[in-house]
Structure 1
Amino acid sequence: MFDKYKPLKKILITGANGMLAIAIKNALSGCDVYAFSSQELDITCSQSLHKKIATVQPDYIINCAAYTAVDLAETEQEKAFKINAFAVEKMAQIAKQYQVTLVHFSTDYVFKGDAAMPYQPDQDTDPINVYGASKLAGEKAISRVNGKHYIFRISWLYAANGKNFFKWVAGTDVKELNIVNTQTGSPTSAIDVANFINHVIDNDPKNYGIYHFTNQGEMTWYAFAKAINQKLDLNKTINPVATFKTDAKRPAYSVLDCKKTEQVFNYSTPSISDGLDRVVARYKS
């Protein structure tokens, strides 16, 4: 019976206090997980990064550490690129040195947003804000290093914890909300991303590269706010507005095509509605 024993896969997670990392830690119950917050592991410090990876000797690194302040990035360009590009390149190099598979998350914001149909993973990128540019630089760096890697572009991420659109709509005391209805995307539950990552690690096809993973369907921020309002019985008034002043431009249409992901990983991506139900249930519990 002992020859059938398989050691648990060892996973190193960065950015452990973020909403995605927390969801992934919860999903990876069958793995040996080493999760480090940005205080415990500063990914911009190459020496610390090397030491942690050398010590843990993981099978996978799941990089959930990122600079995600989209508007602030317009004035903190150097910081955004330091975390989202330069640190990621170093991580990819060390992962390759130790033959570790790197799982990294990118964004729908690498696209310009002028498409009429969902973006394919191999379509031309053209970010319209600094955040998107910094994430694209990270993607390119990982691809250049060319170790064992998966880059998953996700979009409009939300969870029952952390700072995100769902939490804001659910928690604000404001009873009347004006929400933009001129941006279309796919709100994506961190729970569903985490369940998918668990599936990837359990069934790794070793078909490395760039993929899309979002909840299936598309809607505006206004429609998403209305759905949250309805599912949580908030009784708020939700008004559509054409524009909302922000420092960074947002893509008008950033829906991602996930067919390649479904085929390669033999996985059915859940709908936006099902994803929201899971987060609502977690929020209420």
Structure 2
Amino acid sequence: MKKILITGANGMLGTAIAAELIDYTLFVFSSKELDITCSFQLDQKIKNIQPDYIINCAAYTAVDLAESEQEKAFKINAIAVQKMAQIAKQYNATLIHFSTDYVFNGEATVSYLTDQKTDPINVYGASKLAGEKAITQIDGKHYIFRISWLYAPHGKNFFRWVAETDMKELNIVDSQTGSPTSALDVATFIKEVIENDPATYGIYNFTNQGEMTWYAFAKAINQKLGLSKMIQPVAEFKTAAKRPFYSVMNCEKTERVFDYQIPSIEKGLHEVVRRFKS
């Protein structure tokens, strides 16, 4: 039975992945139980467990706060990730790590390929890109999956906010286009990767298939949940961090290499709604 260590296991993605991999020998650690910025802790855990896979779901994800907490963002998303990749290589574990669409500047008009030029426009994106580069330079067994606009029936996310807010009128930005991606679908895919690992290491894009704005996504959530909220489009909100206007990523390479059909945005949302209601 493969041994799998999951960091950041209490977050939205870690929770979904741990639930999906329940049949494996799991070692799950919340960020409180395993601080990935402490190299000694990390080394001890990995040395004692000797996992086949390390799935890193620990990350600094506060996009706006990162603008004023640059050091903290880089410490978690880059420096700690570099150390994790070194330790994973030392103990011959495969590292599965998650990056973001925010490594791109959002000026494209067609979906981004994995090898396209990166050019983050905020600190969060820059810190995640630094993490990617650290892993690839160490050259151990690794998969980096760039995901985007993550949501789930659990945790703190856009879907839950639209579903549960008391506000009857929502003003939602209509100038950013991306691919809302269900953490449940990411988790199902990660199980597939572990079960049928092709050992074709590198960077991949994984998002639900299709594209829409946040406004269109809010309307879809409203409709699927049978809510009657008034949803209005707005051009932009003033935020501390800039957002890419267009961050749709091309996932053809992922589907080909892993022989896997990624579900559409609609299918992903349908399942999240079903789980949320049950």
CA distance in 1, matches of 2:41, 2:216: 43
Aligned position for 2:145: 152
1:41-60 equivalences under 5 Å are 41-60=34-53
1:217-256 equivalences under 5 Å are 217-256=210-249
Aligned position for 2:188: 195
1:69 maps onto 2:67 in alignment: no
Aligned position for 1:11: 4
Aligned position for 1:26: 19
Deviating above 4 A after TM superposition, structure 1's stretches of 4 or more consecutive aligned residues are none
Deviation at 1:31, TM superposition (A): 1.0
Deviation at 1:223, TM superposition (A): 0.1
CA distance in 2, matches of 1:76, 1:171: 29
Aligned position for 1:140: 133
Matched letter for residue 232 of structure 1: L
Aligned position for 2:97: 104
RMSD over aligned Cα, in angstroms?
0.4
Aligned partner of residue 35 in structure 2, secondary structure: coil
CA distance in 2, matches of 1:243, 1:156: 17
Deviation per CA, 1:34-86, whole angstroms, max 9, x where unpaired?
10001110000000000000111100000000000000000000000000000
Aligned position for 2:199: 206
1:259 maps onto 2:259 in alignment: no
TM score, norm. by length of structure 1? 0.97
Aligned partner of residue 97 in structure 2, secondary structure: strand
CA distance in 2, matches of 1:203, 1:31: 14
Aligned position for 1:119: 112
Aligned partner of residue 95 in structure 1, secondary structure: helix
Deviation at 1:30, TM superposition (A): 2.5
Question: Number of residues paired by the alignment?
Answer: 278
Deviation per CA, 1:189-231, whole angstroms, max 9, x where unpaired?
0000000000000000000000000000000000000000000
CA distance in 2, matches of 1:229, 1:240: 14
Matched letter for residue 199 of structure 2: K
1:181 maps onto 2:174 in alignment: yes
Aligned position for 1:130: 123
Deviation at 1:131, TM superposition (A): 0.2
Aligned partner of residue 140 in structure 2, secondary structure: coil
Deviation at 1:29, TM superposition (A): 2.5
CA distance in 1, matches of 2:276, 2:65: 28
Matched letter for residue 229 of structure 2: K
Aligned partner of residue 136 in structure 1, secondary structure: helix
Question: Identity of aligned pairs, percent?
Answer: 73
1:82 maps onto 2:64 in alignment: no
CA distance in 1, matches of 2:32, 2:128: 22
CA distance in 2, matches of 1:48, 1:237: 49
Aligned partner of residue 62 in structure 1, secondary structure: strand
Matched letter for residue 28 of structure 1: L
Deviation per CA, 1:136-194, whole angstroms, max 9, x where unpaired?
00000000111000000000000111111001101100000000000000000000000
Which of 14, 33, 38 does residue 40 from structure 1 map onto?
33
Matched letter for residue 40 of structure 2: Q
Matched letter for residue 226 of structure 1: K
Which of 208, 211, 214 does residue 215 from structure 1 map onto?
208
CA distance in 2, matches of 1:245, 1:280: 30
Matched letter for residue 80 of structure 1: A
Matched letter for residue 60 of structure 1: Y
